[in-house]
Amino acid sequence: MSDKDDIETEVITETTSILEDENCEPTKNFESVDQSISNVIEKAETSLGIPSPSEISSEVQYATGETNAKENENSSPMSGPFGVFSTISTAVQSTGKSVITGGLDALEFIGKKTMDVIAEGDPGFKRTKGLMNRTSTLSQVLREAKEKEELWTANEVTMEMGKKTHYGLLFDEFQGLSHLEALEMLSRESEIKVKSILNSLSGEELETLKFELEQLKEAFSLAEFCEEEEEEKKGDEDFTKEITELFSQLHVSSKPEKLSRARNTACEWIRTSLAKPLEEKEEGKKQLEAEKIQQLNNNSIEDIHAFAIRSLAELTACLIELFHKTAALVLHGRKQEVTAIERSRALSQMTVVLCKELSSLSKEFTTCLTTAGVKEKADVLNPLITAVFLEASNSASYIQDAFQLLLPVLEISRIENKTELPEA
């Protein structure tokens, strides 16, 4: 038995010495990795004030050491060469795990700290990060995306034109965004109520209500119009009278005076601008008229463009304000003197009338630009003309989108009016 024990002791001693020699290389390699990571992040620590990786990983190493200690206690009954192999393997794994985990945690911490430092120095980064976590409505698109786009190009436009003529900023100045947001809120609340009522009904009642709401949608649709018809009606109909008559059909207390005043101001400015060349050609004019013409003639193409954009933004904001007030009065009005279908037809015609007016005004503004910019180069004049047509098209789109927000309001009005009729 003693000879056998001596042989076993020699084998264990020899194996242990070999494994200890082999263990030196992995340990050196992991120390090299740890040192490399420390060198990489050392500069970042200095500038950002971050704790060293050794401090960050110390807790991980400590927790890992406790776990390994428990594992060693459980495996202590093992003896012989296999016990030595298990102990060394566990030590190598724990060393690698602590180094890699500590390094990754340090890099993750550096990344977060770096993003925070960037955000502190760049307010725009915070806004961009906030937009990623939000869903946009029409008003948010107008307020955030439009203003962002305008602010980006503000310096360029200021250098080229000497003034800022941003549609989005002007639209907000005329309270268009505020009324649009309020209209969206009323529309959402009404839509939720309509869905709740539909879900509570069944059978014949549900089918009847769906049929009535479908009729309302058909009356609510916008009629198509062609530009030739618009030109024929332009000289025969007065905008103020037409819009006032249509608004009176809604049977609400609000009136479109602000909208009519904005439109008339734009038309008067256009008439004065277009009359200048004709007056200049006439002979025998009085001195006062000549001085007035000379003063008006000082309007540059930039002035005309700025007034055109301002007028389009003001008209659009005024109509959206009317839509908002109409929705509020319809929802909170006690007596329904007119049906929802009749109101939807009046609102539809009103929307078409103003879209036609915007198209007509944009053409007249571009005529003013063409007349005043005869001596200007095409690359200077054409972008201004294109911008007027573009903003007129955008205005029509905003008005039509706001018009669609009124549908849930009229639907809930139709439902509530139907339930109140038997009680009357």
Same-domain status, 115 and 154: no
User: Whole-angstrom Cα distance, residue 424 to residue 421?
Assistant: 5
Last residue of a domain, one of 63, 90, 124: 124
pLDDT at 339 over 60: yes
Same-domain status, 215 and 74: no
What's the pLDDT score for residue 122?
44
Same-domain status, 283 and 349: yes
Backbone φ, ψ for residue 298 (5° rounding): -75, -10
Backbone φ, ψ for residue 132 (5° rounding): -65, -25
Q: Which residues contact 181 (CB under 8 A, 6 or more apart)?
A: 137, 139
As a whole-number percent, the residues of the chain with pLDDT over 70 amount to: 50
What's the pLDDT score for residue 186?
96
Same-domain status, 193 and 260: yes
Same-domain status, 75 and 143: no
Same-domain status, 220 and 119: no
- pTM recorded for the entire structure: 0.60
The closest of 415, 423, 420, 417 to 200, measured between CA atoms, is 415
Last residue of a domain, one of 94, 124, 154: 124
Query: Considering the domain boundaries, does residue 386 fall inside one?
Result: yes
| Count: domains in the chain | 2
Same-domain status, 214 and 357: yes
Query: Considering the domain boundaries, does residue 133 fall inside one?
Result: no
Query: Considering the domain boundaries, does residue 117 fall inside one?
Result: yes
pLDDT in tens, 60-99: 565 555 555 555 555 444 444 445 445 545 544 555 555 4
Task: With H, G, I as helix, E, B as strand and everything else as coil, classify residue 252.
Answer: coil
Same-domain status, 103 and 232: no
Same-domain status, 174 and 102: no
What's the pLDDT score for residue 304?
94
Same-domain status, 63 and 108: yes
Query: Considering the domain boundaries, does residue 92 fall inside one?
Result: yes
Query: Considering the domain boundaries, does residue 22 fall inside one?
Result: yes
Query: Considering the domain boundaries, does residue 212 fall inside one?
Result: yes
Query: Considering the domain boundaries, does residue 62 fall inside one?
Result: yes
Same-domain status, 114 and 152: no
Would you say how long the chain is, in residues? 424
What's the pLDDT score for residue 93?
55
Q: Over range 141-166, report the average pLDDT.
A: 59
Last residue of a domain, one of 98, 124, 150: 124
* Range of lowest pLDDT (39-43, 180-184, 213-217, 394-398): 39-43
Provide the residue range defining the domain that includes 388: 138-420
Same-domain status, 13 and 112: yes
Q: Over range 56-63, report the average pLDDT.
A: 58
In degrees, to the nearest 5, what angle opens at C-alpha 100 toward C-alphas 98 and 102?
A: 65
User: Whole-angstrom Cα distance, residue 319 to residue 387?
Assistant: 21
Q: Over range 209-230, report the average pLDDT.
A: 77
* Range of lowest pLDDT (108-112, 215-219, 260-264, 392-396): 108-112
What's the pLDDT score for residue 85?
45
Query: Considering the domain boundaries, does residue 264 fall inside one?
Result: yes
Highest mean pLDDT: which range of 59-68, 110-119, 135-144, 370-379: 370-379
